[in-house]
Amino acid sequence: MNKISLIIKREYLTRVRKKTFILSTVLFPLLYLGLIFFSGYLANTSGPKLNLALIDSSGYFTKARIDAANQKDSFTLFTLVSGPAESVKNNLKKNGFDGYFIIPDSANWEKPLKNITVRTIRTLSPAGAAPVHAKLNSIWNELKNDQLGIDADKKRILETSSITIQTADLENKNSQSGIAGIIGSIAAVLIYIILMLYGSQVMMGVMEEKTNRIAEVIVSSVKPFQLMMGKILGIGLVCLTQVLLWIVFILLIYNVTALSGSGDAMSGMVGQIQKIFTGTNMTLIVFCFVFYLLAGFFFYSSLFAAVGSAVNEDMREAQSLSFPLMMPIIFSMLIMGGVIKDPSGPLAFWGSMIPFTSPIIMMVRLPFGAPGTVAWWELGLSMSILILGFIFTSWFAGKIYRTGILMYGKKPSWKELIRWGFRKN
């Protein structure tokens, strides 16, 4: 045990003292927040700014209607023009237009207006054409309201008389699906990143010791299984340290925003952060997050260590052997959307029980409520299966590690690795 603790200490101190660890610990939360806000900013501001010529043959689209619509939306402009379509088309660039469309004389306000083709000098995707479609529909609806004699008061009643619904789980009265989906997605993404990042670190660390022949010296004084476990536990502690620092960082953000905040935008942001913290059982979420993160890491990292011990210096060989290990992690992210839509369904249940997917899928489900969406027996069973899975993968990987760490020049396949794992000694 003393030998394992020395290996753990070496692995831990070597990694936490690196500048990359310090930078990633500090910068990752900031970059993640920046990415969220920047992507939101781009979603609101990006897109083509268009100035389209409108040729109206119906007489419905008057200059007054178009000017009123342009005041509401100056990003997509309509300009009423006269003259033949061919002349407008030939002088688009000269007149500063990006394209044109024609309202036919057969248009009837009592019928849908179909097959309006917007012809532009640049390619527009369906998303880029959506503002044009929305603005044209807005003008058309205003026209129909005027024809029907619907004044401003009646329009306000029509616009505000919609029905809104909320969902309530009878077994989980405090569940808030919107907040739960956000928390579950964030937890799943973090576990996904950490499993991929630190699992690869374990594999690369084993490969480095093997190719530098350091492992040959170390295994002369410690057993190969002790070396593998020391490396896994040491890197696991590095992972836990970084995650705990991130949690402290999040708590600091919450406390700072709760005590301060000026302006409508900041107040809204503060309100959303406080709503997330107060709307769920954060103690249970944090505890389970740490458990599934570490248990998932130990489950996968032992297999990554086994792959690293079997590989020599060829990175392509390492990528080929590690790809089957990454597939269940990637698959968990692919089904995350379906689990959020139905966190009590069979896909969510079995995904949270199978140890290859449970670290991510169970963390997606938990914010929706426990007990309730996730029964206590489900949570206990999922944890127990994952622990048993880690014990099995450690035993299995240890046998592969013992054979592979001292083997050079051979390129084993997964079939041979499995044979090593089940071979009787």
Higher pLDDT, 142 or 172: 142
Higher pLDDT, 102 or 371: 102
What confidence tier does 270 reach under pLDDT thresholds 50, 70, 90?
Answer: very low
Q: Look up the pTM and report it.
A: 0.67
Q: Is a pLDDT exceeding 60 seen at residue 265?
A: no
349 exposure class (CB count in 10 Å sphere: 0-12, 13-18, 19+): buried
In this model, does residue 175 exceed pLDDT 60? no
In terms of domains, do 242 and 367 share one? yes
Per the prediction, the chain carries an average pLDDT of 79
pLDDT over 50 at 140, yes or no:
yes
Q: Does residue 185 share a domain with residue 131? A: no
The answer to whether residue 77 is domain-embedded is: yes
- Confidence band for 388, pLDDT divided at 50, 70 and 90: very high
Q: Give 174 or 321, the one with higher predicted confidence.
A: 321
Q: How far apart are CA 103 and CA 56, in angstroms?
A: 5
Whether 191 is in a domain gets the answer yes
Residues 6+ away with beta carbon under 8 Å from 210:
308, 309, 311, 312, 405
E strand or H helix that includes residue 199: helix 177-211
Asked whether residue 266 carries a pLDDT value surpassing 50, the answer given is no
Of 96, 129, 160, the domain-final residue: 160
Instruction: Indicate whether 28 belongs to any domain.
Output: no
Report the alpha-carbon distance of residue 299 to residue 394 in Å, rounded.
7
Of 100-114, 162-176, 373-387, the range with the lowest mean pLDDT is 162-176
Range list of H helices, 46-176: 63-72, 85-90, 126-148, 152-160
The three-class DSSP label of residue 55 is strand
Are 59 and 136 in the same domain?
A: yes
Q: Is the pLDDT of residue 227 over 90?
A: no
pLDDT band at 258 (very low <50, low <70, confident <90, very high): low
Count the Cβ atoms, other than its own, within 10 Å of residue 249.
Answer: 16
Q: Are residues 179 and 156 in the same domain?
A: no
- DSSP H or E segment with residue 99: strand 99-103
Assign 169 a pLDDT band (cuts: 50, 70, 90).
Answer: low
Of 177, 195, 168, 156, the residue nearest 358 (C-alpha): 195
Pairing of the two strands 99-103 and 119-120: antiparallel
Of 151-160, 175-184, 225-234, 333-342, where does the model show the most confidence? Answer: 333-342
Q: How sure is the predictor about 363, in pLDDT bands with cuts at 50, 70 and 90?
A: very high
Beta bridge partners of 50: 76
Shared domain check, 363 and 279: yes
> E strand or H helix at 78, and its extent?
strand 76-81
Instruction: Kindly state whether residues 185 and 332 are assigned to the same domain.
Output: yes
Indicate whether 303 and 344 sit together in one domain. Answer: yes
Q: pLDDT-derived band of residue 355, with 50, 70 and 90 as boundaries?
A: very high
SS3 of 288-314: the string is HHHHHHHHHHHHHHHHHHHHHHHCCCC
Chain Cα centroid distance, residue 77:
35
Which of 91-95, 182-186, 296-300, 400-404 is the least confident region? 400-404
Among 21-35, 85-99, 219-233, 406-420, the minimum mean pLDDT is found in 21-35
pLDDT band at 173 (very low <50, low <70, confident <90, very high): very low
What count of Cα atoms within 13 Å lies in the side-chain half-sphere of residue 111?
Answer: 6
SS3 98: coil
Residues 65 and 199 in one domain: no
Segment among 5-14, 203-212, 337-346 with least mean pLDDT? 203-212
Of the three residues 101, 130, 160, the one that is the final residue of a domain is: 160
Bigger pLDDT: 271 vs 52: 52
Report the phi/psi class of residue 206: left, alpha or beta, with left for phi > 0 and alpha for psi in -120 to 50. Answer: alpha
- Give dist(CA 225, CA 401) in Å, integer: 7
Question: What is the model's pLDDT at position 232?
Answer: 85
The CATH number of residue 116's host domain is: 3.40.190.10
Answer whether residue 40 shows pLDDT above 60: no
What does the pLDDT look like over 189-209, one tens digit per residue?
A: 889 988 888 888 888 878 877
Any domain includes 19: no
Mark whether 67 and 143 lie in a shared domain: yes
What type of residue is 52?
A: L
CA quadruple 132, 134, 139, 140: dihedral positive or negative?
A: positive
Range of 67's domain?
A: 49-160
For residue 338, give both structure tokens: 């379906």
Higher pLDDT, 87 or 277: 87
| Of 160, 189, 212, the domain-final residue | 160
Q: Would you call 111 helix, strand, or coil by DSSP?
A: coil
Predicted pLDDT of residue 262: 43
Residues 233 and 322 in one domain: yes
Q: What is the pLDDT of residue 292?
A: 93
Answer yes or no: do 93 and 223 share one domain.
no
Q: Identify whether 351 is part of a domain.
A: yes
Q: Examine the pLDDT at 133 and tell me if it is beyond 50.
A: yes
Residue 263 has pLDDT above 50, yes or no: no
Does residue 10 lie within any of the structural domains? Answer: no
Between 386 and 230, whose confidence is greater? 386
Q: Which pLDDT score, from 0 to 100, does residue 36 have?
A: 59
Total domains present in the chain: 2
Token pair, residue 1, equals 């045990």
Q: Based on the domain organization, do 306 and 193 belong to the same domain?
A: yes
Task: Judge whether residue 1 has pLDDT over 70.
Answer: no
What is residue 35's predicted lDDT score, i.e. its pLDDT? 65
Query: What is residue 334's predicted lDDT score, i.e. its pLDDT?
Result: 92
Whether 264 shows a pLDDT value over 50: the answer reads: no
Distances (CA, A) of 108 to 57, 68, 81, 113, 143: 11, 21, 20, 7, 11
Check whether 422 has a pLDDT greater than 70.
yes
**Residue 16 within a domain:** no
Characterize 252-263 residue by residue with b for buried, 16 or more Cβ atoms within 10 angstroms of its Cβ, and e for exposed: eebeebeeebee
Is 326 within a domain? yes
55 backbone dihedrals φ, ψ, rounded to 5° = -100, 110
Question: Across the beta sheet with 119-120, what order do the strands follow?
Answer: 76-81, 50-56, 99-103, 119-120
* For the chain, percent of residues with pLDDT exceeding 70: 80
Q: What is the mean pLDDT of residues 17-42?
A: 69
